[in-house]
């Protein structure tokens, strides 16, 4: 089973920041937090990942709480093309372990 | 940017027939995966492959399924005798070998069993 819980759905106004929360209260010390999204029936698209420090790339920012029990994915200026299902996945980084997908959060960016 | 490519994009097969789904992972990646997603449901792990052998598989991946890396570029999933419930999107993913690198997914093959 997925080790994360996420809200089922969220709305965000176009141009505003979208903040997607994820709870992973049972995360282990060597487990990373990965974020993916899936647009329609396309393959999951990698967004960002982190261990304990906050991370930023060209797509998003990842804020991980100090106790690592939760995190937030931030899309700074959401566009209509960001409408998708967003998945938060916790997994050990090494050894190529498979991902366990939960139902994710369906983000709707509204004009 | 390098990407995982999957063919065909859509495969229609009669129940009981064999089907092979093909994937070209990102060059120099070492870990390979198959996942599936039944319409309206979650993405489910099927199998992972490393160093020319299966490293992990789920309960879904029964004797009807097999994987192969026949050459240095392709990674295939074979379903020997398809059932109606095998209808799903099948996603291939690959991952570089080092550390915590993420998996990169292809856009999938839609398998329809009639």
CA dist., res. B105 & res. B107, Å (int): 7
For residue A12, pLDDT beyond 70: yes
Chain A neighbors of B56, CB-CB under 8 A: 97-98
Question: What is the structure's pLDDT at A36?
Answer: 97
Cα distance between residue B50 and residue A25, in whole Å: 30
Q: What is the pLDDT of residue A94?
A: 55
Q: Which residues of B touch A93 (CB under 8 A)?
A: 99-101
Interface of B with A (CB under 8 A): 4, 30-31, 33, 35, 37, 42-45, 48, 50, 55-56, 58, 89, 91, 93, 95, 97, 99-108, 110
Instruction: List pLDDT tens digits, range B37-92.
Output: 999 999 999 999 998 999 999 999 999 999 999 887 899 999 999 999 999 999 99
> For residue A35, which of A83, A85, A88 has the smallest C-alpha distance?
A88
pLDDT confidence tier of residue B103, bands split at 50, 70 and 90: very high
Name the CA radius of gyration of chain A, rounded.
Answer: 13
Task: Select from A102, A23, A100 the least CA-distant residue to A67.
Answer: A23
What is residue B81's predicted lDDT score, i.e. its pLDDT?
94
Confidence class for position A11, pLDDT limits 50, 70, 90: very high
Closest by CA to B40, choosing from A96, A111, A37, A85, is A85
């Amino acid at each position: 089973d997925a080790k994360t819980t996420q809200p089922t759905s969220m709305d965000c106004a176009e141009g505003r920041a979208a903040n997607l929360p994820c709870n992973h209260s049972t995360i282990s010390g060597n487990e990373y937090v990965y974020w993916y999204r899936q647009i329609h029936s396309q393959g999951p698209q990698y967004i960002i990942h982190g261990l304990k420090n906050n991370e930023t790339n060209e797509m998003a920012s990842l804020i991980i709480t100090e106790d690592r029990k939760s995190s937030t994915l931030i899309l700074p200026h959401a566009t209509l093309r960001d409408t998708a299902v967003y998945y938060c996945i916790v997994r050990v980084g090494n050894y190529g372990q498979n991902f366990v997908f939960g139902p994710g959060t369906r983000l709707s960016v509204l004009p | 940017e390098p990407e995982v490519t999957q063919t065909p994009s859509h495969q229609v097969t009669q129940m009981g027939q064999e089907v092979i789904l093909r994937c070209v992972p990102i060059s120099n990646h070492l870990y390979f995966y198959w996942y599936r997603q039944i319409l309206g449901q979650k993405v489910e792990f099927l199998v992972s492959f490393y160093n020319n052998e299966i490293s992990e598989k789920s309960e879904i991946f029964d004797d009807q399924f097999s994987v192969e890396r026949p050459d240095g570029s392709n990674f295939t999933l074979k379903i020997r005798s398809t059932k109606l419930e095998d209808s799903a999107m099948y996603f291939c993913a690959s991952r570089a070998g080092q550390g915590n690198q993420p998996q990169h997914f292809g856009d999938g093959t839609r398998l329809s069993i009639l």
